[in-house]
Amino acid sequence: MVADVSILSQRYELPPGATRTFEATDSDPYLTKMLDQMTPVPSSLVLKVGAQVMLMKNINVADGMVNGARGIITSFDDKGLPVVQFCSKKEMALKPERWIIKTRSGALLSRKQIPLRLAWAFSIHKSQGLTLDCVEMSLARVFEAGQAYVALSRAKSLDTLRILDFDPKQVWANPDVLAFYKKFRRKLHQMQIVPLGRPRV
């Protein structure tokens, strides 16, 4: 889980074969850059057979097709849609899905795109909301309180989690949050609990 674009490009070149590009359909083409920041899928998605990808939306929770499920593109179907073999052994063709975003002004924007992202490397910020079945992460560039927690809490299991260059100094909580909970606990101890309802005889 790193933000090194060079790793992504190097790994992407490894599988041989032609690429296919999927362009998103945005409600406002002039706000494509904003939607790139506000949605988990890119405006232009380049895929090929053998590429490692990650599902970016809950499709079928019962079958394990959830946000963060990882797989490999095995082919493209007769409609040109990517067919993904997921780690859960489920194989399926993925059609475009829609994301709707509300801006600060209250306006609604939407993006329709194949719900996939290349999954060799990505930033901690982009990992928010994901559940990762297998992850190797670098915490060397953590710069904000709680950022390490966001990364670590994405892992589904300790057995499939590997941390590189770990330093305890990279894990800390926001002082304002600590002060809030300290004050909250103090008030909780001072509270008088009054039972509701009539006392039982």
Q: Where are the alpha helices (DSSP H) in the chain?
A: 5-13, 32-38, 147-152, 175-190
The distance from CA 66 to its chain's CA centroid, rounded to whole angstroms, is 10
Q: How confident is the model at residue 68 (pLDDT cuts 50, 70, 90)?
A: confident
d(CA 55, CA 51): 13
d(CA 122, CA 138): 11
Q: How confident is the model at residue 127 (pLDDT cuts 50, 70, 90)?
A: low
Mean pLDDT of 128-153: 75
Residue 5 has pLDDT above 50, yes or no: no
Residue corresponding to tokens 């007769």: 78
CB 138 within 8 A of CB 72: no
Strands 97-102, 44-47: pairing is: unpaired
**pLDDT value at residue 70:** 85
Helices vs strands, H then E, count in the chain: 4, 12
Residue 10 has pLDDT above 90, yes or no: no
d(CA 31, CA 136): 33
Residue 106 has pLDDT above 70, yes or no: yes
161-201: pLDDT as tens digits = 888 777 888 788 888 888 998 988 888 888 777 777 776 66
92 token code pair: 């399926």
Instruction: Give per-residue burial for 116-128: e unless 16+ CB within 10 Å, then b.
Output: bbbbbbbebeebe
Q: How confident is the model at residue 92 (pLDDT cuts 50, 70, 90)?
A: very high
**pLDDT value at residue 24:** 96
Q: Specify the range with the lowest mean pLDDT, choosing from 25-29, 89-93, 122-126, 143-147.
A: 122-126
The distance from CA 179 to its chain's CA centroid, rounded to whole angstroms, is 30
DSSP per-residue codes, 157-168: -GGGEEEES--G
Cβ–Cβ contacts within 10 Å for residue 183, how many? 10
**pLDDT value at residue 168:** 81
Q: What is the pTM of this model?
A: 0.64
